[in-house]
Amino acid sequence: MIPAPFRHITVETVEEALAALVEFGDEARLLAGGHSLLPLMKLRLATPAVLIDISGISGMDTVQVDGDHLLVGALTRHRTLELSDLVAREAPLLGHVAGLVGDPQVRNRGTIGGSIAHADPAADLPCALVALDGVVGLRSVTGAQREVRAEEFFTGFWSSVMEPDEMITHFRIPRTGSAGWAYEKYTARAQDWATVAVACVAGRVVLGAMSDTPLRASAVEQAIASGATAAEAALTAHEGTNPSGDLRASAEYRAHLATVLTERVLLRSGYGI
């Protein structure tokens, strides 16, 4: 439970962070809230020689309205999202889901950028971001900026399209306002990662922990659009999924949970009654 020795450097700007990423290459990792990276280091599943601490970069922890979207800084903490009136009004799913991440200590340190970069299929915010049809804003050391739809960002377990010389700077999240939404996560213990999670907003249904990435439940969405009841549509929730079996649940039990939770989110979102 003791990490390998590492050097800790602090940076004050995105430019400094990106320059350090290039300077130290594979040896380095960005450090935001530390609540995913440090546990991995303690287990020696990650042994970076250099931690580039970005938590002091100013101006990257705010939420603002930007036209039809919310612009959310990558360093915005889960707790800020949970308590924000603006988020509750404009993208209520996001605030609600942020409030279900871990415990208050985790939410007071962890950031949305760290959670999305970590790309854990059982994490809450990746599932919510895909359901919201959010966009991930990336910047590289060359100054190049790009925005990637969350649906295309995640490529596998703990992996994404983010390049080694890139960092997440912001998220662009559609203002879904009063559109029907719901989130259900089944956990083996209180305050835990999802055994299975399902998010629904504005008719988009996304499954967490049913594959290596958050997964659109396209068959469910189509069934609802064709007039199926919530119960009928939910029976298709496992289609195209590839759940793993582990200590928390077997693959078969995860498929069962996906059906149950999908029916609940559909009913609570006002679809397929």
Ligand X SMILES: Cc1cc2nc3c(=O)[nH]c(=O)nc-3n(C[C@H](O)[C@H](O)[C@H](O)COP(=O)(O)OP(=O)(O)OC[C@H]3O[C@@H](n4cnc5c(N)ncnc54)[C@H](O)[C@@H]3O)c2cc1C
Closer residue to ligand X (CB): 33 or 243: 33
- The angle at the Cα of 222, spanning 202 to 270, to the nearest 5 degrees, equals 40
* Least spacing, CB of residue 146 vs ligand X, in Å: 13
Contact assessment for residue 217 and residue 206, using Cβ atoms and an 8 Å cutoff: yes
C-alpha distances (whole Å) from 192 to each of 29, 46, 54, 248, 264 are 25, 21, 26, 11, 20
106 lies in the site for ligand X, by CB under 6 A? yes
User: Of 20, 33, 61, 153, which one interacts with ligand X (CB under 6 A)?
Assistant: 33
Q: What is the x/- site pattern for ligand X, positions 44-63, by CB under 6 A?
A: --------------------
248 lies in the site for ligand X, by CB under 6 A? no
CA 263 centroid distance within chain: 22
* Least spacing, CB of residue 189 vs ligand X, in Å: 10
Closer residue to ligand X (CB): 151 or 221: 151
31 lies in the site for ligand X, by CB under 6 A? yes
* Least spacing, CB of residue 57 vs ligand X, in Å: 9
Q: What is the x/- site pattern for ligand X, positions 59-88, by CB under 6 A?
A: ---------------x--------------
Contact assessment for residue 221 and residue 207, using Cβ atoms and an 8 Å cutoff: no
170 lies in the site for ligand X, by CB under 6 A? no
Q: Which DSSP helix (H) or strand (E) runs through 235? A: none
Number of residues that this document lists for the chain:
273
CA 246 centroid distance within chain: 21
111 lies in the site for ligand X, by CB under 6 A? yes
114 lies in the site for ligand X, by CB under 6 A? yes
CA dist 172 and 71 (Å) reads 5
Q: Which two tokens stand for residue 179?
A: 């559109």
CA dist 81 and 91 (Å) reads 10
Enumerate binding residues for ligand X (CB under 6 A).
29-37, 39, 74, 101-102, 106, 109-111, 113-115, 117-118, 123-125, 167-168, 192-193
